[in-house]
């Protein structure tokens, strides 16, 4: 393939629709965990995006890693230049833009990141860059510096920002929710990296309580445009994020409406 996305399961992905609006063919390639090494070593692509669970796993196969991606510890974009693989993290840009779009300002606030994978590392970097006063990661295991959900509910009910980087609530398990936000009385902002459905159970629950909340579609579009520029060398105007976001959101809302009529 020339350009595309690799991941373990991609039935939820909107990436093909987004990238093809930028003017080139884009393929979704599901790869089993035991097939990642052969795919990366073959390098039969010009540019790929990387999603769950490979944002950290691809790093050993790269010849050059962008400094920002190295500091974050996760790669979501790989470009093949003359047989050498270059790794980047455009998720950082995407998540920064998502916070702006959602009008959520973490400066001086206590933030909690749900999850411990590659996207959680990006979330930590973004929150730090935006001036969060305290940042904690939460995982089911409570390992590698993360706290457990039991500790979160017991000791950190004063969290003001929650960022979900787990797949809980993602299609097809759309009623899943990673955390009970009713336990956090000072909560002022919720960001969910899940984008399918556009409004997850977590996002809806926050909005019902008057809390600023946004799903991951805006992040997905912004990081895709960043990746596209690396793939093609062509700079996209900033307004294209909103144009493509509105287009994809409209398509998904129409699909949901049609499903409701038929179902």
- The residues annotated with a catalytic role in the active site are 55
8 Å CB contact between 78 and 1: no
Spatial distance between the Cα atoms of 138 and 120, rounded to a whole number of angstroms: 9
CA-CA-CA-CA torsion sign (247, 248, 251, 252): negative
- What are the angstrom distances between the C-alpha of 253 and each of 177, 197, 222, 259? 21, 10, 20, 10
Number of separate helices (H) and strands (E) present in the chain? 9, 11
Which is nearest to 161 in space by CA: 190, 182, 133? 190
* Interatomic CA distance for residues 213 and 4, integer angstroms: 29
27's tokens: 């393929």
Please name the residues in contact with 249: beta carbons below 8 A apart, sequence gap of 6 or more: 198, 217
């Amino acid at each position: 393939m020339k350009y595309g996305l690799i991941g373990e399961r991609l039935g939820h992905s909107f990436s093909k629709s987004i990238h093809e609006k930028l003017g080139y063919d884009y393929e979704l390639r599901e790869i089993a965990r035991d097939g990642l090494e052969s795919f990366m070593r073959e390098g039969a692509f010009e540019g790929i995006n990387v999603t769950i669970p490979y944002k950290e796993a691809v790093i050993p196969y790269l010849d050059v890693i962008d400094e920002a991606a190295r500091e974050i510890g996760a790669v979501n974009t790989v470009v093949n230049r003359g047989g050498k693989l270059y790794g980047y993290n455009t998720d950082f840009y995407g998540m920064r833009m998502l916070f702006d779009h959602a009008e959520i300002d973490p400066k001086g606030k206590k933030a909690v990141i749900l999850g411990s994978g590659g996207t959680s590392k990006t979330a930590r970097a973004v929150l730090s860059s935006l001036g969060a006063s305290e940042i904690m990661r939460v995982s089911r295991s409570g390992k590698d510096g993360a706290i457990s959900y039991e500790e979160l509910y017991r000791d950190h009910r004063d969290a003001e920002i929650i960022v979900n980087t787990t797949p809980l609530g993602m299609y097809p398990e759309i009623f899943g929710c990673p955390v009970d936000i009713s336990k956090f009385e000072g909560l002022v902002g919720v960001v969910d990296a899940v984008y399918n459905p556009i409004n997850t159970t977590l996002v809806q629950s926050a909005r019902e309580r008057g809390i600023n909340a946004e799903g991951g579609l805006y992040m997905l579009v912004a990081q895709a445009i960043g990746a596209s520029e690396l793939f093609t060398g062509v700079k996209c105007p900033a307004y294209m994020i909103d144009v493509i976001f509105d287009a994809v959101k409209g398509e998904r809302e129409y699909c949901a409406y049609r499903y409701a009529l038929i179902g």
